[in-house]
A and B are shown apart, each in its own frame.
Chain A
Amino acid sequence: MSNPRWQTPAALRRIARRNAAERRFRLLGLGAIALSLGFLALLLVIMAKNGLSGLNWSFLSGSDSTDPHMAGVWGAAKGSLLTMLVTIAIAFPMGVLAALYLEEFAPRTRWIEWVEVSINNLAAVPSIIFGLLGLAVFINTAGLPRSSPLVGGLTLALMTMPVIVISGRNAIKAVPPSIRDAALAVGASKVQTVFHHVLPLALPGILTGTIIGMARALGETAPLLMIGMRAFVATPPGGLTDPSSVLPMQIFLWSDQIDTAFVENTSAAIIVLLMFLMAMNGLAIYLRNKFEVRW
């Protein structure tokens, strides 16, 4: 004895139409995800198809060469390694200390507000702008050697530091105040409390953020293009001031080659780079899951 108002043919048709629209909409959502992920899959498959055959020991241990069959990726990888060393050596301690200061000690002054605004905006400044900064300051003003891991690392450190500060602050914020109160209550000074209790507890979170920031730096090309890190390095760089290239730059340089044999090299180098990034992100996820504490 159901309500006749909802049983008229027109009402039934209308409901059927609305339900169909509902299904279409839902399908559209699923389609959007499928399309996005399909694109990712296509990209990976094409790189794998073109590059896997080129992944052998001589490729992994060699350096750049004009002959595609001789060219290898180790020279650029070593450049990346040296660059990342400089980056992490500067960005990590500075980022962590700045995060500690802003979260735990900073008085609420105009200055500190400016620092916060700066950090939030720096995190969104296009990377190529950091390249211009590195070019103007490190090379033209300070006279550091062009194309070197030193300048590359410094430039990327400036870019990465805000990321570390922001994630570091979130990790520090997540440490409950009760821990601080407990330490202060047994007579620890504020500095002792922060360095003995808060920092160790926040460290996994800070590390996760740092790794993610470093992964981003490892994949960067544009700022390094500005400081001339596109050297042709037939031998791996020996030190921080030698001209060198980095993995993404090697990909860029090879992608420009006319010789189609370089397609295999480029794709293989992309696979190597993606492997590194996956390993780093995997480590970050592992750290997050392993040390994530629910307070």
Chain B
Amino acid sequence: MTDIKLQARNVDVYYGQKKAIDNVSIDIDNGLVTAFIGPSGCGKSTFLRSLNRMNDTIADARVTGEILLDGEDIYAASMDPVALRARVGMVFQKPNPFPKSIYENIAYGPRIHGLAQGKADMDVIVEKSLTQAGLWNEVKDRLNDPGTALSGGQQQRLCIARAVAVSPEVILMDEPCSALDPIATARIEELIDDLRQTYAIVIVTHSMQQAARVSQRTAFFHLGVMVEYGETSEIFTNPREARTKDYITGRYG
């Protein structure tokens, strides 16, 4: 049971004159976790950010090629980046809760998009999102504490809850565990596996173990090029490309 959620066709990304992504084409399926791996600086974040047009916010970044969400070109004039980003959420490397209360952190997205009818409705959304992110039991008694007062792992789950609160279709995660300790990392990994049922998930990671643990598909990037893409088990046990093999066996990176 796979259906294609996101489709990239011949995508190039430039920073000014510099080409950071070179001709990448990839299909990302619903119900699966897709991992992007590769040495740092190879363009994983850059490509990830082009999937919800976050690159628009960088002055000299330019994306060419086609990226289709449910068959619809996200760079078309008719696509509003505001609506797009509500459909394709994002979680960042460093937890970045807003300097507001836990409740307000979650309520922020639904409020700007007008997804809640009244306070009771919002309360439901907040509870549901925090529950989905596995945080509800830890914070239900202190929803008015500032989000920044939580531990690092909790902050990251808060950010996931914040993304979930606007009911996206895809969640992009850029090295979501790299700032966390192993226990917090394990919790997030469990969470990712749960969320896969509801959302298409793309995760960038520099840890091959993590990619192997959480993902069903893996794409290996090197120097702005997507070298290889396939079933995670295939990539790790039987890579087709020499460069992939070198990387996963630790020759470089």
Q: How many chain A residues touch the partner (CB < 8 A)?
A: 10
Stretch at the interface among B80-88, B184-192, B236-244: B80-88
**A14 and B87 contacting across the interface, CB-CB below 8 Å:** no
Q: Is the interface of B mostly helix, strand, loop or mixed?
A: mixed
Contacts of A15 in B (CB 8 A): 80, 82-83
**B82 and A3 contacting across the interface, CB-CB below 8 Å:** no
Supposing A15-B80, A15-B83 touch, asked if A3 and B114 sit within 8 A by C-beta, the answer is: no
Which B28-82 residues have a C-beta within 8 angstroms of A?
A: 69-72, 80, 82
Q: Is A2 an interface residue (CB 8 A)?
A: yes
Select from chain B the residue with minimum beta-carbon distance to A7. Answer: B83
Supposing A14-B114, A15-B80, A19-B80 touch, asked if A1 and B72 sit within 8 A by C-beta, the answer is: yes
**A2 and B80 contacting across the interface, CB-CB below 8 Å:** no
Q: Is B193 an interface residue (CB 8 A)?
A: no
Complex partner residue of B169 from A3, A14, A19, CB under 8 angstroms: A3
Contacts of B69 in A (CB 8 A): 2
Contacts of A2 in B (CB 8 A): 69-72
Contacts of B80 in A (CB 8 A): 15, 19
CA distance A2 to B71 in the complex (A): 8
Contacts of A6 in B (CB 8 A): 83, 86-87
Q: What is the CB-to-nearest-CB distance from A161 to chain B, in angstroms, rounded to a whole number?
A: 40
Bitwise, B83-105 to A at CB < 8 A (1) or not (0) is 10011000000000000000000
Contacts of A5 in B (CB 8 A): 167
Select from chain A the residue with minimum beta-carbon distance to B80. Answer: A15
Contacts of B169 in A (CB 8 A): 3
With most chain B CB atoms within 10 A of its CB, the pick from A2, A14, A19 is A2
Q: Is A18 an interface residue (CB 8 A)?
A: yes
Select from chain B the residue with minimum beta-carbon distance to A16. Answer: B80
Q: Which B residues contact A (CB, under 8 angstroms)?
A: 69-72, 80, 82-83, 86-87, 112-114, 167, 169
Chain A to chain B: the 4 pairs with minimum beta-carbon distance, closest first = A2-B72, A6-B83, A1-B70, A14-B114
Q: What are 11 A-B interface contacts by the 8 Å CB criterion? A: A1-B70, A2-B70, A2-B71, A3-B70, A5-B167, A6-B86, A14-B113, A14-B114, A15-B80, A15-B82, A18-B82
Q: Which A residues contact B (CB, under 8 angstroms)?
A: 1-3, 5-6, 11, 14-15, 18-19
Taking A3-B70, A6-B86, A19-B80 as given, write out 11 further A-B residue pairs in contact, using a Cβ cutoff of 8 Å, ordered by the A residue number: A1-B70, A1-B71, A2-B69, A2-B70, A2-B71, A2-B72, A3-B87, A6-B83, A11-B83, A14-B114, A18-B82
